[in-house]
A and B are shown apart, each in its own frame.
Chain A
Amino acid sequence: MAQSMKAPTQQPKQAAKGMPYWVEPLFTIVALGGFVVYAIWETLWHNTGTYHNYVSPFFSPDVAGWFGFHVLTALYVVWVPFLFRFSCYYYRKEYFRGFFFHPAGCAVAEPGSRKLKAYKGERRFPFNLNNLHRYAWYLAVIVLIFLWKDTVQGFIFKNGFGVGLGSILLLINAVLLTAYTFSCHAFRNMIGGRKDCFSCVNGKPSTGYKWWKRVSGWNQFHGNWAWASLFSVWAVDLYIRLLSLGILHDPRIF
């Protein structure tokens, strides 16, 4: 029997399956916000991130040392991964949902105050600079090369080759950062994505096509690599910090 009821507001109900819409932005606020706060603390309150043969990713490469600076040494490096992640297509989704509520969830009405403000998307500064994501990628690759050097160095102890818990953490971190960097949408474009025809040279799949296809596969998990590498950077740095404070002892496996 038909029964009249009050018209609902546009706020959506919970979907039949899956989590409520606010779980994802809440996770972003806690995880990404927590990392940013930690990174500020690490960058502004410490001038070194080294423990024996382990180097924290916050302090590598040692750009400050190259110029003879001894304070805020991490600051000379962290702007590169910051720019890379800030302009990353995956993180844009996360921070626009989590911090700006543009929108907080799909088909979720934006808060009234924001709705009234003129929305300009990525037209206005600083979001229009996200168009230069590829340049952040170039810089991130340079930093990545140094992180791999640090990873190798993490396996070389005073008495020769060895494996400590820190070595393994550095290796995992380098692998995850590599996966994150090379699954990037901008890299996918530059490796072959900007071509319309992959067979126009000789009728066969070009090298660019093969790489584009491979990167497209990695790209499907770009968000997973983004979070995993963020947590690995966090874990490695925290581990080295706790070692240098004498709170932890690095167990040698080999």
Chain B
Amino acid sequence: MSEDIVLSIYRGDKSGGEEVRYTVPLTPGMVVLDAVHYVQAHEAQDLAVRWNCKAAHCGSCGAEINGRPKLLCKTRLDDYQGQVVHIQPMQTFPIIKDLVSDVSWNYETAKKIPAFQLSQSAPLQMQQFDVDRVQEFHHCIECFLCQDTCHVLRDHDAKDQYFGPRFMVKIAEFEMHPRETGDRVPLLAKQAGLDMCNVTKCCTEVCPQHIRITDNAIIPLKERVADQYWDPLRALFRRKKTTTPTAPDSAPTIRG
């Protein structure tokens, strides 16, 4: 006879809502998304949840499980045996319905980042050790859990002042690319609001892809801003990298 586990799932929309409890039979290897699907199939056919691959690759099923931003498909239920599992939508973004939140602000923000600028025409020849650093950033699945946990966006709702950790990773990916010529440091220092980040590393802690967002993207970018804007000695010997690229008026630079 299988053991049961109790899920307390947020049900509601922008006009309000509450958590509703469901009891689900626990099976070996079950993840939270399986349990949510069980609830959908047996008890609440109108329960809204965004998901796609169920393999921690699409980044669709981000939510908050017992107050912690996580992917529903990557969180095993046996980690919560003996507890009630509270499942809520991401708190940083407006709710659409139940576990689905409106993350479109991220796609609008992506449009503000200047597109990749090549120093030479493709195909590019690069040494592997030159691109190792940016390939870490390519692991991002855009689940926006880092945006959800970032207190600048979450607690202070400073979306007009800071792009958030996901886009610091995006900018780092371009900025540190060996064949990319754009200079996004002025963007970081001003519009992107890098100095709103106080490096508390929550984005790194919740990243399901284990990208070291703070250590490998945000802090190196902060150092580059310091190189260009704060260091008086470097100001004496400064050499411009290239011209500052401009953001495209349309078409996001990342998938939307």
Contacts and interface: CB of A to CB of B under 8 A. Distances in A.
B98 interface: no
A8 B67 CA distance: 10
Contact of B149 (A6, A107, A134): A107
A2 B149 contact: no
B226 A134 contact: yes
B187 to A, nearest CB: 16
B200 A219 contact: no
Given A16-B66, A93-B199, A122-B198, A109 B155 contact: yes
A122 B195 contact: yes
B198 A96 contact: yes
A188 B176 CA distance: 14
B130 A7 contact: no
Contact of A131 (B180, B199, B226): B226
Contacts of B154: 107
Interface string A11-42: 11111110000000000000000000000000
B195 A119 contact: no
A224 to B, nearest CB: 13
Given A131-B222, A131-B229, A17 B79 contact: yes
A227 interface: no
Contact of B43 (A2, A93, A128): A2
B69 A107 contact: yes
Nearest to B155: A110
Interface stretch (B13-21, B106-114, B246-254): B13-21
Interface size class of B (residues with CB under 8 A): 35 or more
Nearest to B128: A199
Interface residues of A, number: 58
Contacts of A219: 215
A198 B130 contact: yes
Contacts of B176: 196
Nearest to B22: A2
A203 interface: yes
A12 B151 CA distance: 14
**Which applies to chain B's interface (DSSP): helix, strand, loop or mixed?**
mixed
B199 A92 contact: yes
B20 A5 contact: yes
B234 to A, nearest CB: 9
Contacts of B200: 92-93, 96-97, 102-103, 106
Interface string B40-69: 000110000000000000000000101111
A2 B44 contact: yes
Nearest to B181: A196
Nearest to B180: A196
A241 interface: no
Interface in A83-136: 89, 92-93, 96-97, 102-103, 105-110, 115, 119-123, 127-128, 131-134
B129 A110 contact: no
A105 B154 CA distance: 13
Contact of B68 (A1, A4, A89, A107): A107
Given A15-B66, A121-B152, A185-B219, A127 B198 contact: yes
Given A128-B195, A194-B227, A5 B220 contact: no
A41 B151 CA distance: 35
Given A17-B79, A194-B227, A219-B215, A4 B129 contact: no
Contacts of B8: 5, 8
Contact of A8 (B80, B86, B197): B86
A83 B220 CA distance: 20
24 contacts: A3-B21, A4-B18, A5-B8, A8-B86, A12-B64, A12-B68, A15-B67, A16-B79, A16-B83, A17-B79, A89-B219, A92-B200, A93-B200, A96-B199, A106-B149, A106-B205, A121-B198, A123-B195, A134-B231, A185-B215, A189-B224, A196-B178, A198-B129, A203-B127
Interface of A: 1-8, 10-17, 89, 92-93, 96-97, 102-103, 105-110, 115, 119-123, 127-128, 131-134, 185-186, 188-190, 193-194, 196-200, 203, 205, 209, 219-220
